[in-house]
Amino acid sequence: QKEVEQDPGPLSVPEGAIVSLNCTYSNSAFQYFMWYRQYSRKGPELLMYTYSSGNKEDGRFTAQVDKSSKYISLFIRDSQPSDSATYLCAMSADAGGTSYGKLTFGQGTILTVHP
């Protein structure tokens, strides 16, 4: 079983739709959760960063973490064609612990928002 599972999609939605992206994980030591966006032929860029359980909102983006279910989500409201990219979830345990801050990624979900 992979430590982090992410539905690779691809996902195609019309402009203005609400997009839901999800990851599940198996390592209960994970405490830090991130979502990265990667445009074609570019490096990943951080979109959202959360610690432990809860919600975080930034503009059209909302990240949710449910540690009891080992499940994280990213919601994109009013999606735009410029949101078309690959979205990667990432997570890590405490860097001071035995994991030494390893950052584990999901497979990535390819999202296309069409006008």
Partner 1 sequence: NAGVTQTPKFRILKIGQSMTLQCTQDMNHNYMYWYRQDPGMGLKLIYYSVGAGITDKGEVPNGYNVSRSTTEDFPLRLELAAPSQTSVYFCASRVSNTEAFFGQGTRLTVV
Q: Report the interface residues with partner 1, using CB under 8 A.
A: 6, 8, 31-32, 34, 36, 41-46, 49, 51, 88, 90, 92, 94-96, 100-108
Q: Which two tokens stand for residue 95?
A: 């860097």
Cβ closest to partner 1, residue 15 vs residue 45: 45
CA 95 – CA 100 distance, rounded (Å): 5
- Shortest reach from residue 30's CB to partner 1, in Å: 11
Cβ closest to partner 1, residue 51 vs residue 71: 51
- Residues 6 or more apart from 74 whose CB is under 8 A from it? 20, 21, 22, 35, 47, 48, 61, 62, 63, 64, 87, 89
- Shortest reach from residue 111's CB to partner 1, in Å: 14
